[in-house]
Amino acid sequence: MNSYKLAICQMKTSNNKTVNIQHAIEMIAEASKNGADVVALPEMFNCPYENRFFKEFAEEYPGETSKALSKIAFDCGVYLIGGSIPEFEDGKIYNTSYVFDKSGILIGRHRKVHLFDIDVKDGVSFKESDTLSRGNDITVIDTEYGKIGVAICYDVRFPELSRLMALKGAEIVILPAAFNMTTGPAHWELSIRMRALDNQIFFAGVSPARDENASYISYANSMVSDPWGRIIGAAGKDENIIYVDIDRSLIGKIRQQLPLLNHRRTDLYKVGIL
């Protein structure tokens, strides 16, 4: 199919996992009723974004959250990029995104590759590695709407990862993310537009809605960039579902006009695969 409708669910998260899952199901169902073919949830949508909650909310696959996502994907007949949740396996906890097809079958899993360990002067301090382990895979998933890349939050800051997904054929990268009130205003839109422009792909950042009472306050502002670096859909700070028509033919048109990927000098680059 040359085009499809993408829905971005910008939702609030509470400290009650069951409530969070049910709220996500309701938003997915609403998106489906409004014609969405692909639906995406935010980072850590079933769990407060705090290290102390990751272990408490973590679950093995299949678990409460993944079973619910599989069922709603099947019930609604949508591809579902299930944001991310804390996943437990072999004594480790990962920040993991499950991807389901229209039949509710798990067709992909991305574990956050780059852990968010920062200490910004007069800003946020957070160390995911205190609790979480790194993933080691580049995630590109085949669908009837073309190949979809999946990354999580801090992954966007490393252009090599997006480039590798594009070289593997990803036409869009979907990024569940929770930028904060320091990094969000400074870098969120810039990062999304730049990764789209660098690779001449669509790029979608899916954030939780802002909760001023949370200990970790999300910048929100979910948005989608087209391959020219234009924002074609954006939310504000509140709960919302945004819908974007993804015209896959635009990728080829832009790459023909401005053939960036063909002009790469891989004979000069230190990392030959790039």
- pLDDT tens digits, 96-108: 999 999 999 999 9
What is the average pLDDT value for the chain, to the nearest integer?
96
- Residue 274 maps to a domain: no
- Residue 229 maps to a domain: yes
Q: The domain containing residue 252 runs over which residues?
A: 3-263
> Per-residue pLDDT for 273 more than 70?
no
> 72: Cβ–Cβ under 8 A, 6 or more apart, which residues?
24, 25, 28, 29, 80
**End-to-end CA, the chain:** 29
Active site residue 160: no
Average pLDDT over residues 64-77: 98
How many domains, the chain?
Answer: 1
SS3 content of the chain, % helix, strand, coil (to 5): 30, 30, 40
- Residue 153 maps to a domain: yes
- Residue 268 maps to a domain: no
Average pLDDT over residues 190-200: 98
- Residue 139 maps to a domain: yes
- Residue 271 maps to a domain: no
- Residue 273 maps to a domain: no
> 263: Cβ–Cβ under 8 A, 6 or more apart, which residues?
none
CATH classification of the domain holding 170? 3.60.110.10
Q: Is 48 left (phi over 0), alpha (psi -120 to 50) or beta?
A: beta
Average pLDDT over residues 227-243: 98
Q: What angle do CA 38, 151, 262 make, to 5 degrees?
A: 95
pLDDT of amino acid 119 = 82
Average pLDDT over residues 220-226: 98
Active site residue 43: yes
One-letter identity of residue 176: P
The active-site residue, picked from 112, 128, 189, 237, is: 112
- pTM of the predicted structure, to 2 decimals: 0.96
pLDDT of amino acid 120 = 75
Which helix (H) or strand (E) element contains residue 198? helix 183-199
pLDDT tens digit sequence for 127-145? 899 999 999 999 999 999 9
pLDDT tens digit sequence for 78-123? 999 999 999 999 999 999 999 999 999 999 999 999 998 878 777 7
How much of the chain, in percent, has pLDDT values that exceed 90? 92
SS3 state of residue 144: coil
Pairing of strands 38-40, 3-10: parallel
Average pLDDT over residues 9-24: 97
Confidence at 271, pLDDT banded by 50, 70, 90: low
The active-site residue, picked from 17, 43, 87, 237, is: 43
> Per-residue pLDDT for 274 more than 60?
no
Active site residue 112: yes
The active-site residue, picked from 9, 47, 76, 153, is: 153
Average pLDDT over residues 235-264: 97
Confidence at 125, pLDDT banded by 50, 70, 90: confident
Pairwise CA distance, residues 187 & 153, whole Å: 12
